[in-house]
Amino acid sequence: MIRAKDLTKHFKVHKRPPGFISAMKSLVHRKYEIVKAVDGVSFTIERGERVGFLGPNGAGKTTTLKVLSGLLHPTSGEVEVAGHVPYKREAELLGKITLVMGQKSQLIWDLPPAETYAMNRAIFDVPKAEFDATLKELTELLELGNLVDKPARQLSLGERMKCELAAALLHKPTTLFLDEPTIGLDVAMQVAIRDFVRSYNQRYEATVLLTSHYMDDVVALCPRIIVIDRGTLIHDGDLRQLIKTMDPDKRVSFTLVSPIDDGELAKLGTVLVREAQRVTLRVSERELPAVISHLLGTLKAADLAIEDPPLEDILREMFGRSKANGTPAMPVAPEAKPAPGAKSGAADAGEAP
CA distances from 56 to 61, 229, 268 (A): 9, 7, 34
Residue 126 one-letter amino acid: V
pLDDT digits (tens, 9 = 90+) for 235-254: 899 988 888 888 889 999 99
Give the model's pLDDT for residue 337.
Answer: 43
Co-location of 257 and 205 in the same domain: no
Residue 56 lies in a domain: yes
pLDDT band at 320 (very low <50, low <70, confident <90, very high): confident
Query: 224: domain CATH number?
Result: 3.40.50.300
Beta-carbon contacts of residue 177 (< 8 Å; ≥ 6 apart): 65, 68, 69, 97, 98, 99, 100, 209, 346
Residue 62 lies in a domain: yes
Q: Is the CB of residue 180 less than 8 Å from the CB of residue 276? A: no
Residues pairing with 177 in the sheet:
99, 209
Work out the pLDDT band at 325, boundaries 50, 70, 90: low
**Do 181 and 241 share a structural domain?**
yes
Looking at the fold, whether 322 and 220 belong to one and the same domain comes out as yes
Q: Is 18 inside a domain boundary?
A: no
Whether 235 and 179 map to the same domain: the answer is yes
Rg of the chain in Å (alpha carbons): 24
- Supply the range of the domain harboring residue 198: 2-10+39-96+173-245+314-351
Does 30 fall in a domain?
no
Domain count, the chain: 2
Identify the three-state secondary structure at position 260.
coil
* The amino acid at 246: M
**Is 212 contained in some domain?**
yes
Does 333 score more than 60 pLDDT? no
In a shared domain, residues 330 and 270: no
Same domain, 218 and 320: yes
Give, in order, the Cα–Cα distances in Å from 74 to each of 79, 129, 141. 8, 38, 36
Assess whether 218 and 300 both reside in one domain.
no
Strand partners, 273: 280
Residue 128, in any domain of the structure: no
Residues 253, 343, single domain; the answer is no
74 contacts 7 by C-beta, under 8 angstroms: yes
Q: Are residues 189 and 302 in the same domain?
A: no
What pLDDT digit, counting tens, does each position of 172-201 carry?
A: 999 999 998 888 788 888 888 899 899 999
Strand order in the sheet with 278-283: 270-275, 278-283, 250-255, 302-307
Query: Does the residue 302 lie in any domain?
Result: yes
Proportion of the chain above pLDDT 70, given as a percent: 91
* CATH number of the CATH domain containing 300: 3.30.70.1150
> Cα dist. 136→45, 172, 174 in Å?
30, 13, 19
Alpha carbon separation from 303 to 254, 257, 278, 306 (Å, rounded)? 5, 10, 9, 10
- Are 6 and 84 part of one and the same domain? yes
What average pLDDT does the chain have?
Answer: 86
> Does residue 283 belong to any structural domain of this protein?
yes
**Whether the predicted pLDDT of 328 surpasses 80:** no
Question: Tell me, what's the pLDDT at 57?
Answer: 86
- CA dihedral of 190, 194, 199, 201, whole degrees rounded to 10: 140
CA 209-132-109 angle, 5° bins = 65
43 — pLDDT class (breaks 50, 70, 90): very high
Residues 298 and 229 in one domain: no
Q: Tell whether 266 and 194 lie within a shared domain.
A: no
